[in-house]
Amino acid sequence: MSNPAPEPAGGSPSVWARDADKYLLPHEHPPVIATRRHWAVLVEPAVRALPVLLLGGWLLLLDPDNRVSTTAGFLVLVGALGHLAVRAGEWWMRHFIVTNRRVLLTSGIVVRTVALLPLRRITDLTYKETLFGQLLGYGTFRFESAGQQQALSEITYLPRADLLYRRVSDLLFGADGADSADDEGSSERRTPPPPSDGGRRDTEPIPRRPPDPPGSPPAGAAG
């Protein structure tokens, strides 16, 4: 089983890249990253199912003429294989997608679920690799975001996590991220309202008042 490689923008279309196109908004670019999780995610359910498979095989071969033991062994084998098939289907259908605006995680076989996190809400990104992750080539992303806890706070078993980390970091904190932040900041700047005194600015001199004629009462005097 080969390690799924990240799908760069503009690359050849793949199953997960075509799945990403379903969720792109009109103003979003093609996904910078579109990939499944690493196949190592299937190791744990396979190890857990192994004793059940051995038990089912033992019951099936214990006494071929005994209908009870063979039926029980057959049901145990079918149940264990069915569980593995469901987990493999979930791995096949779960895609990690990053565009120039959002992080998405699609999952589900019958009912599709899409969890998303806007890039502008991400304040920090942590990348972790365990010993087995370094050997097999996968890692974990932890997103820190402004506001409440997000559904995408942690994503495990990402393939080629070092490469993905550099790409996501470039989107968040590189030139593209800085430009987008400037664009958002400039949209919040407001132009000061025009003066309401007929166009006079505070820096313009105030015109002098002409002198009062002789014999007139001073300005402000009570009548």
Whole-number Å distance between alpha carbons of 126 and 140? 8
Whole-number Å distance between alpha carbons of 54 and 44? 16
Q: What is the pLDDT of residues 134-147, one digit of tens each?
A: 999 999 999 888 76
pLDDT of 12 above 50: no
pLDDT for 31 equals 75
Neighbours of 196 (CB within 10 A): 7
1-37+96-182 adopts what CATH topology? PH-domain like (2.30.29)
pLDDT of 201 above 70: no
pLDDT for 188 equals 43
Residue ranges of the domains in the chain? 1-37+96-182, 38-93
Predicted confidence band of residue 30 (pLDDT cuts 50, 70, 90): confident
Q: What is the pLDDT of residues 151-200, one digit of tens each?
A: 788 899 999 988 998 888 888 877 554 444 444 444 444 444 555 555 45
pLDDT for 223 equals 46
